[in-house]
Amino acid sequence: MARTYKYTVDCGFTETQRIFYEENGYILFKKLVPEGDIDICHQRFLDVCNGKVKVFTVMRDKTLRDKGETRGEYLVNKIQELLEDDVFYDYYAAHPRVVEVIKNIIGPNVTAIHSMLINKPPHSNTQHSTHPIHQDMFYFPFKPADKIVGSWTAMEKINVENGGLYVLPGTHKGPLFPHGNSEDCSNEFYHGVRGFDHLPKLHLTMDKGDALFFHPHLLHGSSPNMSKNFRKAISVHYADSNCTFINTKGTVQERMAMDFEKLVNEKFGVTWDYINFFKMKSRLISGKPGKIQSMDSHL
Ligand SMILES: O=C(O)CCC(=O)C(=O)O
Ligand SMILES: [Fe+2]
């Protein structure tokens, strides 16, 4: 009987690669992004840390700040909304080698919907640099999940000691679970699931330029940085441009969407709809624009 594929399209993957992603919910490519391109992104990150370049979201590790740390790269633990920045766009989000893999998973019409660079400075507080087990889909108000994929690329050597990523293979086949704040993690913006600690974690060891691609239902997280070095990774999530927005009301995502809107209101004094926030920050990468671009596509 012919095999049916649910999570990939018939494009450039070999059958072995396709089956691997279908069964495990992730695929890792060694040395996908050339080191020189990673170096350009690293320099851009330093420029953001030093205030030379602006991106919309810059988060600092408050536990390091409380210890008196003031140096940018030693303090900034995450920057987001990188897609408006031409350097991050050209050298990572729209990188032909990254986009080629994305198209093999979700097809030719690709919109980048979320972007971040996560830095774990040395001497980070264990609880603050842990990312609890979660599913990225929790944050995304679109469907279908099978037409969304995350990319996560190591900007330096990454392993379990310095805060590397782990995955729970095959869990992408499950539903989206409720998430909440986690005891393992003191970062209020990171949500996690409970009840999966008994499942085996696969800790990934990655070199600079190695890229992981994963389904948004795949359970994953990252360990604390216990090393004396930095741990940096750049990540962009992509959706088929014909994904549609969902109404989060009554779903496990409702609370998170409401918390976001409350936070933005408190911090910036503006009223923002969670879905409009995604529309504002997404950017077409390849192929035709679709429903995700249209202002009246939701609800
Ligand atoms: O970089 C990390 O520590 C976690 C990143 C993550 O969960 C993601 O990119 O979805
Ligand atoms: Fe994640």
pLDDT digits (tens, 9 = 90+) for 235-256: 999 999 999 999 999 998 998 8
Cβ(179) – ligand 1 distance below 6 Å: no
Q: Kindly indicate the confidence band of residue 185, based on its pLDDT and cuts at 50, 70 and 90.
A: low
Cβ(150) – ligand 1 distance below 6 Å: yes
- The preferred substitution site among 129, 148, 225, 235 for testing ligand 1, maximizing ligand atoms within 8 Å of CB, is 235
Identify which has the larger pLDDT, 298 or 294: 294
Does the global pTM surpass 0.80?
yes
pLDDT digits (tens, 9 = 90+) for 139-158: 999 999 999 999 999 999 99
Cβ(211) – ligand 1 distance below 6 Å: no
Q: Cα(88) to centroid of ligand 1, in Å?
A: 17
Cβ(131) – ligand 1 distance below 6 Å: yes
Count of domains for the chain:
1
Q: Cα(148) to centroid of ligand 2, in Å?
A: 13
Q: Is residue 2 part of a domain?
A: no
pLDDT at residue 294 above 90? no
Q: Is residue 249 part of a domain?
A: yes
pLDDT at residue 299 above 60? no
Identify which has the larger pLDDT, 285 or 189: 285
- The preferred substitution site among 118, 138, 156, 193 for testing ligand 1, maximizing ligand atoms within 8 Å of CB, is 118
Q: Is residue 298 part of a domain?
A: no
Average model confidence (pLDDT) across the chain: 92
Q: Cα(270) to centroid of ligand 1, in Å?
A: 28
Cβ(22) – ligand 1 distance below 6 Å: no
CATH number, position 175: 2.60.120.620
Q: Is residue 6 part of a domain?
A: no
pLDDT digits (tens, 9 = 90+) for 36-77: 999 999 999 999 999 999 998 999 988 888 888 888 899 999
pLDDT at residue 90 above 60? yes
Q: Which domain holds residue 284?
A: 15-293
Written in H, E and C, the secondary structure of the chain is CCCCCCCCCCCCCCHHHHHHHHHHCEEEECCCCCHHHHHHHHHHHHHHHCCCCCCCEEEECHHHHHCCCCCHHHHEEEEECCCCCHHHHHHHHCCHHHHHHHHHHHCCCEEEEEEEEEEECCCCCCCCCCEEEECHHHHCCEECHHHEEEEEEECCCECCCECCEEECCCHHHCCCCCCEECCCCCCCCCEECCCCCCCCCEECCECCCCEEEECCCCCEEECCECCCCCEEEEEEEEEECCCEECCCCCCCCHHHHHHHHHHHHHHHCCCCCHHHHHHHHCEEEECCCCHHHCCCCCC
The average pLDDT across 166-172 equals 97
Q: Is residue 10 part of a domain?
A: no
pLDDT of 296 reads 54
pLDDT at residue 222 above 90? yes
Q: Is residue 4 part of a domain?
A: no
Q: Cα(264) to centroid of ligand 1, in Å?
A: 22
pLDDT at residue 298 above 90? no
Identify which has the larger pLDDT, 101 or 269: 101
Q: Is residue 7 part of a domain?
A: no
Q: From the alpha carbon of 136, which atom of ligand 1 is closest?
A: 10
pLDDT of 297 reads 46
Q: Kindly indicate the confidence band of residue 260, based on its pLDDT and cuts at 50, 70 and 90.
A: confident
pLDDT at residue 216 above 80? yes
**ipTM more than 0.95?**
yes
